[in-house]
């Protein structure tokens, strides 16, 4: 197994929205913001090569809607085919695209314009795209809170091509790759777990825990559709991480890539933080 990351870009998000009811003077000590109260978020995607699979987790926002989304000040948007070639792969080799959920900053590069800009096509023509069934239904019929986060052109071409695969319960898509479902931030969010050759488990936290600063159970985003469920599912993820000494991989954290956690006096705390490249797979 080989694991790499693709930094798909970064954007600004309102700190008050990201930390919900937590006062600014408290959260700012853990995650900085600029003078306009905006925090920098990354779109850190995962690339996993196994014996017979090439897997990507999330695809960032892409470049199809950047003018519409200019409020977020996106920067550093990458071409996935170019980034994959830097790692020795190509878009045609991707076998699986695991999507935590379908908000624009997680699935935008699932589709691209064709060469003459006349049509939108799947970016990874031979891949299975894995999406939570409840998330897909939410995407097709969004609630008022999430309507502006979904763009049909990011995913409908995938459905049309027959590449969409829906996940209705926790399942393995390979012997060392498990998809687990979480709710709260949005319905049917997938958090993939990779069982590494060294005996450890790498958990892609997605928006269940968007960054290390959000470890406290009550620290949930105002974007979360069902905050109480978010807290319950975060507790479930963290308790498992402690019990099994798992490694958490953060998608949005501009300052931390991975960490392990411990429980001290009933609260979850960082045990160690480190970069993905520091994980020894053997």
Residue 145 pLDDT grade (very low, low, confident, very high; cuts 50, 70, 90)? confident
- Tell me the pTM: 0.97
Q: What is the pLDDT of residues 46-79, one digit of tens each?
A: 999 999 999 999 999 999 999 999 999 999 999 9
Does the structure show a pLDDT above 90 at 118? no
Does the structure show a pLDDT above 90 at 160? yes
Q: What is the pLDDT of residues 164-219, one digit of tens each?
A: 999 999 999 999 999 999 999 999 999 999 999 999 999 999 999 999 999 999 99
Contact at 8 Å (CB) between 252 and 41?
yes
Other CB atoms within 10 A of residue 133 CB: 15
Residue 276, burial from CB neighbour count under 10 angstroms (0-12, 13-18, 19+)? middle
Residue 34 pLDDT grade (very low, low, confident, very high; cuts 50, 70, 90)? very high
Cα 26 from Cα 11, distance rounded (Å): 22
Q: What is the pLDDT of residue 117?
A: 80
Q: What is the pLDDT of residue 129?
A: 98
Does the structure show a pLDDT above 90 at 116? no
What domains lie within the chain, and their CATH numbers?
2-200 (3.60.15.10)
273 contact partners, CB below 8 Å, separation of at least 6: 212, 256, 258, 259
């Amino acid at each position: 197994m080989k694991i790499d990351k693709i930094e798909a870009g970064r954007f600004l998000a309102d700190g008050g929205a990201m930390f919900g009811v937590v006062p600014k003077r408290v959260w700012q000590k853990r995650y900085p913001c600029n003078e306009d109260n905006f925090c920098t978020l990354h779109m850190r995607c995962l690339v996993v090569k196994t014996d017979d699979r090439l897997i990507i987790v999330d695809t960032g926002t892409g470049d199809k809607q950047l003018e519409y989304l200019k409020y977020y000040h996106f920067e550093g948007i990458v071409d996935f085919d170019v980034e994959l070639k830097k790692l020795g792969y190509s878009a045609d080799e991707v076998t699986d695209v695991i999507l935590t959920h379908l908000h624009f900053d997680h699935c935008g590069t699932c589709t691209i314009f064709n060469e003459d800009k006349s049509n939108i096509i799947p970016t990874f023509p031979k891949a299975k795209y894995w999406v939570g069934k409840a998330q897909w239904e939410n995407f097709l019929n969004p609630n008022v809170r999430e309507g502006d986060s979904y763009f049909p052109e990011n995913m409908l071409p995938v459905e049309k091509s027959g590449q969409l695969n829906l996940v209705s319960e926790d399942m393995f898509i390979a012997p060392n790759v498990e998809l687990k479902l979480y709710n709260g931030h949005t319905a049917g969010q997938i958090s993939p777990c990779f069982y590494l050759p060294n005996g450890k488990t790498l958990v892609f936290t997605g928006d269940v825990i968007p960054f290390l600063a959000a470890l406290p159970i009550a620290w949930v985003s105002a974007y979360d559709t069902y905050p109480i469920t978010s807290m319950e599912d975060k507790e479930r993820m963290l308790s498992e991480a402690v019990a099994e000494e798992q490694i958490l991989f953060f998608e949005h954290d501009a300052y931390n890539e991975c960490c392990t956690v411990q429980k001290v006096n009933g609260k979850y705390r960082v045990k160690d933080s480190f970069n993905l490249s520091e994980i020894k797979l053997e």
